[in-house]
Structures are given as structure tokens and as C-alpha cells.
Structure 1
């Protein structure tokens, strides 16, 4: 592949997506690493244990990854494709690639092999980072990156001896992956603009349990995932038409009801929303379910 070919405008269509330039991203990372270096920037559960990255750790990892990428031949003409769950490695690698000047693309992690091959042929990445081992064989045409090798010798992420949150500590939460269209840009912008910590579950299957342990103050979820939460609430309520369900509906419709507060507190605790103060949503959001609308009303 020639340099001339790489400079052509890239025709990208979903389920592939080009991460646009985030001109202030590295500046913001430096900012938080300077003024709150020891505050938690990222948190991720791995093999049943919580690990944390301070802001200074995140900055140093991005710098190390940038050096590792250059050693792998990544430069301003290169394209890095990312596919998998959103977690610290993926975010830090995206920032490192942008710092070098190359393009960053995401490819949905839930497409079938035929679509994957078509997209890889279209975007022709020079480098790739793929988390799902079952998909690795379909990425033979790309230079797959080993995160540990890129990072080089360094101190491992800090293992958290406690999993609860100190009072007043903010924690954004995401349980998404590259299947969320526009999601990577949302996470990077919200995380770096706010300076709040950002936490991730071990997997989507363990998301509710892990979320309850973090008790996030903010949600960074796609409309589809928010609907999933609404469906989860619905599945735990009494069936429509029963007296228990009518009682629930009556309680929600009466703001001054003590039963209403009791029900909402129970649902909040069930979902890990005891401290919830912020729900990200696109500017043009679809109609909300009753329970999510109630949470947003409380926040307002």
C-alpha cells in the first residue's frame, strides 16, 4: 500500500467509523495529570478484581504507547482499527495513535465475518487492536498490535483493595463497545472534559453486578443500552394488569407518595444508581420510559 493511496479521502460507512480529531484531548489529559495527578482517572474490573489508573498513570501510558506505535511503524499516514469492548487499553491506545498523528477507526465488534471482511477491505487498516480472540483470525490482513508489547516494561495498574466509593467521589460509567455508533468520541469527550473517573465492567454479562459495586454518579450509555436498562426494570416489576403493578403505577403517578420514594430507592439500589446524578443522552433523544424519566427528573 502506497503513501499516495493512504492520503486519499477514506470512504467509511457503518459498522466502521472514523474517530474525528479531538484537538484538545491530549491537552486535557495533560491538564488533569497536572492538577489532579493522583485522582482516579480509569477503573476496570479484570478477573474479578478492580484496577485503577491515576491521571498521571494514564498520561504516562499514552506516551509509552505512542513510542511503541512508532516502533511498530505507525506514523501520520497510518490507520489504526479498534474493535471490542470499551475499556482503558482501548481508550489509551486511541489517544496514543492520535498523538502520533495517524487515523483512528472503530469497527463494530458484533458483525459477522462476511461483513467484517468487507469492511476491512474498504478501510484497509495498517494496524489493528482486537480484543475478541474469536475474531482474531478474521483480522489476518491487518498488523495486529499486542498492547503489553506496545506499553513496554512499566508498573501494572493499581489493584484496588476496596471496591466501594468514598463519599463525594465521582465516577462515570460505561458498559459499551465499538458497536455503539459514535460511542468512543462520547466517552473521550465526556471523560476528558469533566475530569471525572471513568469505570468499566469486566463484561456486559457482569455489568449490573459491577455497576452496583461502583455506584456511578454518571452514565455514558447508548440509547439502546438505556433501553436495555429500562427493559430490565420492567422485567422485575409485577406483570401489567395485576394489583401489584397498578400499585406501582399509582405510586409513580403521585410525587408526594412515600411508597413512590420507597419504590424508586429500591430500583436505584437494584441497578447501582444510588448516587446517580447524570445521564448522557444525544441532543435528539427518543421517548423515555417512565423509570428513566423519573431518574432524570430527580437529577434535575
Structure 2
């Protein structure tokens, strides 16, 4: 049984090496990576980070949206025994960064770079614009390669895998993540044939607990949209079987559908309301499904959805009723007890 996240990756590469582990979209085209390819790249990245003196007891800071490169670098750092701190690029992280003073930083683009004042090693995930900083010592992800062999994988199960800073500082160990992953996989009957969409920001503990760790444990496919702006289109193209969301993300989808419904009072709107009402009649349920509910599921990219997951607060009653009428009842996962530390000490104290 896997003891750490990189161990779980190596296990999947051994069991189903040629199966698709990752898909990601670039310039409108989907690209695929097998488990063997992912494990090989993670080991190469681990060697490259090791050459730049990242090792046990270090912390790799990643400021990025959900991108496959960020995920691979996180696993590479954990291969070396380092922890990974994840920050949301859409938030103002300046006060926190002034205290953390990170040595090893991964940024997604130039806008994120502006938040950094001091740094030793900075890797760019999107190399566009690096020519503006010819003498800044920035590293393009595409150039982060080495022919050296990776060091042995040595992290312990109780080592910190991820660190999250919000109201409190949350540290998740490899063991915590994998124990939770096994529980979710068993309860939801997840397997290698499932497909998940990684559309949420990485800087959320639910993403690590309920998507990344289960992906490594169960071996299903993990898909990355091209950008947040394209996630709805990309979800319709993929038709994932697993969706992880918050109350806000489910409400956003509900609102998106409601804005496109026929005007009240029209015949089409009456058909919609008729089809969304529960009925004991098998014929009415069948007609309502094919006339309204199935087309709505197709529009949402949820026609193949089997495992809807919800982290955080429960859906509001309107959203729960809307998705329930479509046959979608998200499994609500409460955050288990974890090691928390107050994060007030990370912020400047007022005079």
C-alpha cells in the first residue's frame, strides 16, 4: 500500500503505465500523458530541483491556478521530502509573502511575479514574457530538465505534503491525504475508468484531499481545462464522471442555466417546469428526462456524471432542488480534524 503521494504515483505507473493519467488543453487541443510519462517527468523534475538545492525540510511555494505543470512540480518537490505551499494567484498575497520569504517559487505568469520581492529560484509555468527579464535568473518550466538521475524517494508518511494559508495554517501529511483518499474511493466506488475535471484553484485543501490524492490512489484520469474562462466548454467536451465543487461553483452553474431558460409564461417554460417536477408516473419521468433534463445535463457537461462531490457549506435549498431534479445529489464531505495553526503570526501586526 502506498505510503506517500510519490509512492502512489510510482504504483500507478507500474500497474497501468500506458493508461491515460492526465489530459490538458492548449490552444484548443487536448494533450494526453500516460502514468509512465507522468512518473518519468516527475522524477526528472525532482532531479532538476535537487540540483538547485531543494531538499528535505524545504518548502516549494506555488502560486498558480490548476495547471498540470504545477501538479508535477508539487509531486517532484514531495519526492525530495519537501513540502508544498499553495497560494491563490487571484488573492492579494503580498503580506503573507513578506513573512514567508520563499526561496523556491513557482509562478504561473508575469502578473504573479510582481507579488514577489525576494526569491532565490523562480520557475515560470508560462514562459511568455520572460524576455522582459533577461537578467533576473528566471527559469522557464520547459527548460527545467536534467540528464541526472533523480535521488532516492525518501519522504516519510508523517511528513507534511501540502500547506495552506487561510484563516488558519493547515498542514496535511502524506498519510492524512492517502487515508482520506482511500475512504473516498471506497465510499464512492471510484476506479481507473473514472474521469475528473481539475477546474478549481489548487490553493484549497479540498482539492488536495478529494481530487489529487484520490487520483493517485484510484488511478482515474485527471483533466485540466485550458483556463477558468473555458472550464464550462471543456467540461462539456469531456463529460467527466467526477466533479468536485463548492456551494458557490454549483450555484454558478445553476445561475448559468437559469439565465438561458425560456421566458416565464411561454410554452417552452411550462414544459421545463413540468419536466423538473417529481412524478410517480414512469412515462412522465421518461418524457421529462429526454425532453428537458437530459439536454440540460448535456449543456452542463454532466450527462456522464456519476460522482458529484461537494466540499464546504451545503448547497442552498434552491440549488439542491435544481440539481436534485436533474438527478445530481452531491456527496457532502466534511473536513476531517487536521493539524491547524493560527496564521495571525504570518501577517504584519498593526502598530
TM range (shorter): 0.7 to 0.9
Matching residue of 2:122: 144
Cα 1:39–1:129, aligned 2, differ >3 Å: closer, same or farther? same
Unaligned runs of 5+ in 2: 124-138, 148-191, 332-351
Matching residue of 2:150: none
Matching residue of 1:294: 325
- Report whether the alignment pairs 1:135 with 2:112: yes
- Report whether the alignment pairs 1:37 with 2:17: yes
TM-score, reference length from structure 2:
0.68
- Report whether the alignment pairs 1:171 with 2:195: yes
Matching residue of 1:281: 310
- Would the aligned equivalents of 2:247 and 2:312 in 1 still touch at CA under 8 Å? no
Is the partner of 2:228 in helix, strand or coil? coil
Once the two structures are superposed, what CA deviation does each residue of 1:74-115 show, in whole Å capped at 9, x if it has no partner? 11232211112212111111111111111210111111xxx3
- Would the aligned equivalents of 2:60 and 2:82 in 1 still touch at CA under 8 Å? yes
Map 1:137-216; keep pairs closer than 5 Å.
Answer: 137-142=114-119, 143-145=121-123, 146=139, 147-152=141-146, 169-178=193-202, 180=204, 182-216=206-240
- Would the aligned equivalents of 2:20 and 2:32 in 1 still touch at CA under 8 Å? yes
Matching residue of 2:156: none
Matching residue of 2:95: 118
- Would the aligned equivalents of 2:277 and 2:325 in 1 still touch at CA under 8 Å? no
TM-score, reference length from structure 1:
0.78
Pairing partner for 2:257 from 198, 218, 233:
233
CA distance in structure 2 between the aligned counterparts of 1:185 and 1:69, rounded to whole angstroms: 25
Q: Provide the aligned C-alpha RMSD in A.
A: 2.6
Structure 1 stretch displaced more, 289-298 or 195-204: 289-298
Query: How far did residue 196 of structure 1 move?
Result: 0.4
- Would the aligned equivalents of 2:243 and 2:307 in 1 still touch at CA under 8 Å? yes
| Larger strand percent | 2
The number of residues matched between the two structures is 263
Is the partner of 1:50 in helix, strand or coil? strand
- Would the aligned equivalents of 1:191 and 1:198 in 2 still touch at CA under 8 Å? yes
Cα 1:290–1:179, aligned 2, differ >3 Å: closer, same or farther? farther
- Would the aligned equivalents of 1:66 and 1:96 in 2 still touch at CA under 8 Å? yes
CA distance in structure 1 between the aligned counterparts of 2:329 and 2:313, rounded to whole angstroms: 21
Matching residue of 1:9: none
Is the partner of 1:206 in helix, strand or coil? helix
- Report whether the alignment pairs 1:264 with 2:293: yes
Once the two structures are superposed, what CA deviation does each residue of 1:208-254 show, in whole Å capped at 9, x if it has no partner? 22212211111123332222112212222234566643432232113
Is the partner of 1:176 in helix, strand or coil? coil
Is the partner of 1:178 in helix, strand or coil? coil
- Would the aligned equivalents of 1:230 and 1:289 in 2 still touch at CA under 8 Å? no
Is the partner of 1:289 in helix, strand or coil? helix
CA distance in structure 2 between the aligned counterparts of 1:298 and 1:116, rounded to whole angstroms: 35
- Report whether the alignment pairs 1:107 with 2:107: no
CA distance in structure 2 between the aligned counterparts of 1:65 and 1:212, rounded to whole angstroms: 32
- Would the aligned equivalents of 2:309 and 2:330 in 1 still touch at CA under 8 Å? no
